[in-house]
Structure 1
Amino acid sequence: MEKRLFYNWVLRQNGYLKFAEFTLKRAVHKMKRDLLRETCVFYPPEIRAAAPFSFKPERLRWAFRSASKQENSASARKLDGFHIDWQREHDDPEETEALHRWNWLLALLPDRTSNEGAITRWVDLQLIEWVRLFSHEIEREARRASLIWESYTVGERISNSVLFYYFMKKEPPKAVMESLTEQARFLVQRLEYNGMRTGNHILNNARAVYLAGVAFDAPAWRQFASLIMRRELPVLVTADGFLREGSSHYQFLFTRWVLEVAWFAELAGDGELIEMIRPAAGLLIKRCSFFLVKGADGSWDFPRFGDISPDFRPGWLVDLVWSKPAARFLEPQREAPTSGSDTWAGLFGFAEGNGTENGRKEDAIQAFPGSGWYRLDAAGHTLFFRLDESGPPMHAGHHHNDLFHFCLFYNGEPVLIDAGRLNYMLSDARGSYGLRPEAHNAFTIDGLGAAPSGWHLYPQAYSRFKNRVEIETDRDGIWILLTSNAFSRMERPVEARRTFFISRPLFRITDSFSGTGEHEIKTFFHWDKALALSQIKKGEWDISSGAVRGRFRVIDPQSSSIRHERGGEGFFGWMVEGYGSAVKAGSLEISARAAMPFEAVYEISWEERAGHVRY
């Protein structure tokens, strides 16, 4: 459908030359991208000029103090019985890369106080074996096709090993240190610069080079990484402090990278770098707080927008704003949650808060139109949505086709959620489904989402659109109007509007469509896994969990076809909790064939007190 629309658009626009130019640019870009894997000629000029390509530390020296600890022999014997199968390949390349990124090293750290000697001994053996099997590939042509030598994977491997041995207060084996220094040199020559498609990976590359520079007392690497960060942070982070890539999980992950660099900069006495990243770091932390919602049980969570990173589960980063590295840039607003030591913040320790509430501001609207993010807290509701002033984004990112999508919490409990993207394999229908509007609380018109699928493959003139947000309050409640001309690329263009109305007992959605002719409108709602939906009659369900009760209605459902799934054979009726992990959850699809103009209304009425629901 989309391709037919596009070719008809080319005919209508008499755009053969534009299309030919666009196709040629894409081919040249792909050629450059492939060439970039083995050359630095496409580095920005100032980066290429400063790159220490031939630098190697004069002597192999671990910069951190090592401590001698007594080994727990029982634990050592238990760990010694297991050896990593480094040659194993998984169906999902991300799982293969995860093994070689050494992310799992950080999962061992919470046990370090009781099993430090055993853990270190076992890790030393595993990494020495890795070096034996793979380090020689760094000089071989065969590395070009290997996931092990992808730049992001190399960077993660360096950073995670530096973090592990730093926290363990141990020096890595000599063979591992030699390999890490060679990998840092390798990474300097393979930074992930990719023109306008340069994304968060470049900051991850810089983090690895910087941490290696601190760990091996290599000022040249530190200075080079600092230059990269100085150049790229203002590009990747909006003026409001959001990572520009459309993912709430990556907001936390990216902030973590920046804070780790700052932590090691302090160890190295690099005050200049700390002051350089201070403005961005403070804003990034604030925008992590923007996403935080406190549940009825006192735990904290955040809505999932965009991709979920395969590197670390979302819960591992949820308490980042209370960490000691974060507190050096922004004092926490309240006492730290009792997350324990098995989170990222737990590795570094928690800072004391000032006692004020974090994230939630009752009857408050937090609007960042320049970054596209909005949050409303009112009448027990917490509403999130993302709407760029124009779209779709043409830079690299982890966005989904989620225009008009929203996430809703009530009294701190998740109600309507993003169904999520299970994996990054476009060949797997479960992975590609998560990108589409059908996986969001959004709608399609004649099977089309607001943005073309794979929008960056089309000319901007075809896929570009404008959006608008209007917010009004009166004594009845709060009205939020989202408007977009995203469907103007259709042969019979449609203007779409979504209005949220919020009051004490009610959350209402009104979708309005104007245009000509008949169109098929499909609207999707995805409910949190904890919510049970019990149908009362067509178009009406009781919704309930331990902390939330209410009723969801489709106003005038007789003209609609309604589908309800929970854990169906396809991916409709599932909720992604982490990369590669999904659980059953309720999903609704409401379809109507309607002449324009058309309006659809949906309501949630909330229970106000035990045993009574106001309908």
Structure 2
Amino acid sequence: MSLNGIINKGVRIYHTVKFLKLSQVFYQLKYRIATVKSLKPLVAPLHNKHLAFKVETPQVASATNDATFNFLNLQVVFNNNIDWDYQGNGKLWNYNLQYFNYLQQHDLPNHTKQAWLKQIGGWLKDGHLKPEPYPVSLRVMNTIRFITNQKQVEPVIIDDLFAQLSYLNHNLEYHILGNHLLENAFALFMGAHFFNMDTWRQKAKAVLYSELKEQILNDGAHFELSPMYHQIILFRVLELADWYSNADGNDTVFLTFIKTTAANMLGWLKNITFSNGDIPHFNDSADGIAYNSSQLFEFAQQLGIKPVTQLKLAGSGYRKYQFNNYECIIDVGAVGPTYQPGHSHSDALSFVLYNNSLPVIVDTGTSTYQIGDKRNHERSTNAHNTVEIEGTNQSEVWGGFRVGRRAEVTIIKDTANELTAVHNGYQKKFAANHQRNFNFAGDLIQIEDNISGSANLVCKALFHFHPNCNVQIQGNDKVLIDNIATMAFSGATRLEMQHYEMADGYNKYLPAICLAVSFNNDLKSIIAFTSI
């Protein structure tokens, strides 16, 4: 690597690390020094309390009795010789194997589920599989749910469950924080009640109080600003409200806090969900991972928890405009949270557009967490419906889950029909700012882009169309989206159709068209919907 390369890498690392909390640095060093390579065998207390789950989770088939597993649209057949550390499909696939969500499948025999729990317990204890707090958290919650519905469970499974919770108690992910620490706390709190461990209970409750207060924003959004992760965390909050409502001696103040948090999160989800039930795939979001919005609304209804309807989109930085035949959701939020932006994309001032409940302009989506070209592209500015300057990113996304310098967004105007915002992500490199104005009027959307500062920059406004859209360029300044709308451009120097792959879930793609509109400093785009 050249000297300039070394310097640039050092600067990038500096601008990444400077946002971390001191506690993250401390625990990162602590856990690196005191690495846990195997699970310490323990004997569980003689008496445990089965929890009462009133609402059954929706069934998702991902495993068969012959040890065939299907996660993230990738299947592996182990032929009853399961490699619990299998990395052939990447770390996230292996994590899904370790989560044991399939314990809730009715079509898997109970003896098979218990056999697999014993197997993975053995692997953890003999060092074949290193324990990690995140998959441990999800597995213990699934295991407790499973045990609750069984008349008899082999004692070694109970002992291994206790050992994993004991490990988790000493290895909460303070170095990562965010949704990881919340999952740890949900699991430890559930385990504390199962084994009647008061020290675990108090510790987990304190974390849940502090983290939910910090991580749930003033409009009810989860602060990692991924609609998918919002659904994941909302499910955990609802699940906690379910079983804790039936727990002996529950803390009514804490339970009220949990239900209030759930109601606020439901309110945000209702606001961000399209009328057909879809969520916009901003940041790291995909279908088929979390329970969808309709399932979560049904879960909440069974618990008697209603969405807070008076909450408006605010702190999350998302805005939604809904008219007679279209819905448009815009991202004018920051990269966040500052100290854990791992699921953020370089997508300031991007938007997603639906017409008559069908997707028209969409986010490219997320298909992988594997570090490489695909992950880099899906997080890039080029993969979003915003303006790219000189082929570079607004925010410095790198390394799969890292962000160095990041664009700061300022909202200038925010009314019922108009939104104007500006970001400075190109200021350092090109001495340029990007301002975008959206104006909504009946069947028309007008978008004005202005690049202030340097002249003679190569600017491109990008519009990613859903695969079902038939898009045609007409002349030098117009595009026809068959039976949906026309797009007219003022200030464009070139219109070009480009092929891209839309993520249709993890590791699954659909071919589609992106319109790249080149311009100098100013571009006006008018979307006029066709009346049918």
Q: Fold-level match, TM-score > 0.5?
A: yes
User: Helix, strand or coil: the match of 2:397?
Assistant: coil
Which of these residues, 68, 93, 96, is aligned with residue 95 of structure 1? 93
Deviation at 1:184, TM superposition (A): 0.5
Which of these residues, 523, 526, 530, is aligned with residue 600 of structure 1? 523
**Identical pairs, percent:** 18
- Counterpart CA distance in 2 for 1:54 and 1:172 is 18
Which of these residues, 130, 152, 159, is aligned with residue 134 of structure 2? 152
Look up the equivalent residue of 1:413 and give its one-letter code.
L
Q: Return closer, same or farther for 1:203/1:65 CA change in 2, 3 Å cut-off.
A: closer
Which of these residues, 52, 65, 69, is aligned with residue 79 of structure 1? 65
- Counterpart CA distance in 1 for 2:32 and 2:448 is 49
> Are the equivalent residues in 2 in contact too, given 1:285–1:326 (CA < 8 A)?
no
Look up the equivalent residue of 2:92 and give its one-letter code.
E
**What whole-Å deviation, never above 9, does each CA across 1:16-51 have from its counterpart, x for those lacking one?**
xx97997899999667514325659xxxxxxxxxxx
1:278 aligns with 2:259: yes
- Counterpart CA distance in 2 for 1:470 and 1:576 is 33
Which of these residues, 340, 343, 352, is aligned with residue 396 of structure 1? 340
- Counterpart CA distance in 1 for 2:479 and 2:138 is 46
User: Helix, strand or coil: the match of 2:347?
Assistant: coil
1:288 aligns with 2:288: no
- Counterpart CA distance in 2 for 1:93 and 1:19 is 27
Which stretches of structure 1, 4 residues or longer, exceed 4 Å deviation after superposition? 3-8, 18-32, 37-40, 53-57, 168-171, 390-393, 454-459
Using the TM superposition, name which of 169-178 and 503-512 deviates more: 169-178
- Counterpart CA distance in 1 for 2:506 and 2:451 is 35
Residue in 2 that maps onto 1:354: none
Residue in 1 that maps onto 2:115: 125
1:554 aligns with 2:489: yes
1:517 aligns with 2:455: yes
> Are the equivalent residues in 1 in contact too, given 2:394–2:407 (CA < 8 A)?
no
**What whole-Å deviation, never above 9, does each CA across 1:309-330 have from its counterpart, x for those lacking one?**
7xx8257322244234455463
Residue in 2 that maps onto 1:302: 279
- Counterpart CA distance in 2 for 1:513 and 1:540 is 22
> Are the equivalent residues in 2 in contact too, given 1:64–1:169 (CA < 8 A)?
no
What is the aligned residue count? 498
- Counterpart CA distance in 1 for 2:52 and 2:505 is 36
**What whole-Å deviation, never above 9, does each CA across 1:532-587 have from its counterpart, x for those lacking one?**
2234445533324xxx6222333454x2251321xxxxxxx111122222222222
Deviation at 1:128, TM superposition (A): 2.4
1:450 aligns with 2:425: no
Look up the equivalent residue of 1:122 and give its one-letter code.
T
Deviation at 1:62, TM superposition (A): 5.6
Residue in 1 that maps onto 2:172: 191
Look up the equivalent residue of 1:579 and give its one-letter code.
Y
> Are the equivalent residues in 1 in contact too, given 2:136–2:164 (CA < 8 A)?
yes
Q: Return closer, same or farther for 1:31/1:235 CA change in 2, 3 Å cut-off.
A: closer
Residue in 2 that maps onto 1:407: 352
Deviation at 1:402, TM superposition (A): 0.9
Equivalent residue runs for 1:185-584 within 5 Å:
185-194=166-175, 197-269=176-248, 270-272=250-252, 273-295=254-276, 300-308=277-285, 313-314=288-289, 316-325=291-300, 328=303, 330-331=305-306, 366-368=312-314, 370-388=315-333, 393-397=337-341, 398-426=343-371, 428-454=372-398, 463=406, 465-472=408-415, 478-490=417-429, 492-544=430-482, 549-555=484-490, 557=492, 559-560=493-494, 562-565=496-499, 573-584=500-511
> Are the equivalent residues in 2 in contact too, given 1:366–1:376 (CA < 8 A)?
no
> Are the equivalent residues in 2 in contact too, given 1:101–1:160 (CA < 8 A)?
yes
Residue ranges of structure 1 left out of the alignment (5+ in a row): 41-52, 67-77, 334-358, 566-572, 610-615
User: Helix, strand or coil: the match of 2:426?
Assistant: helix
**What whole-Å deviation, never above 9, does each CA across 1:266-289 have from its counterpart, x for those lacking one?**
231324331232332221111111
Deviation at 1:100, TM superposition (A): 1.2
Residue ranges of structure 2 left out of the alignment (5+ in a row): 54-63, 68-78
Deviation at 1:470, TM superposition (A): 0.8
- Counterpart CA distance in 2 for 1:240 and 1:262 is 20
> Are the equivalent residues in 1 in contact too, given 2:219–2:312 (CA < 8 A)?
no
Which of these residues, 146, 150, 153, is aligned with residue 164 of structure 1? 146
Deviation at 1:526, TM superposition (A): 1.0
Q: Return closer, same or farther for 1:20/1:442 CA change in 2, 3 Å cut-off.
A: closer
Q: Return closer, same or farther for 1:450/1:316 CA change in 2, 3 Å cut-off.
A: same
- Counterpart CA distance in 2 for 1:495 and 1:254 is 35
User: Helix, strand or coil: the match of 2:153?
Assistant: coil
- Counterpart CA distance in 2 for 1:554 and 1:21 is 38
Look up the equivalent residue of 1:155 and give its one-letter code.
S
Look up the equivalent residue of 2:529 and give its one-letter code.
W
User: Helix, strand or coil: the match of 2:109?
Assistant: helix
Which of these residues, 14, 27, 50, is aligned with residue 63 of structure 1? 50
Deviation at 1:419, TM superposition (A): 0.3
- Counterpart CA distance in 2 for 1:422 and 1:21 is 24
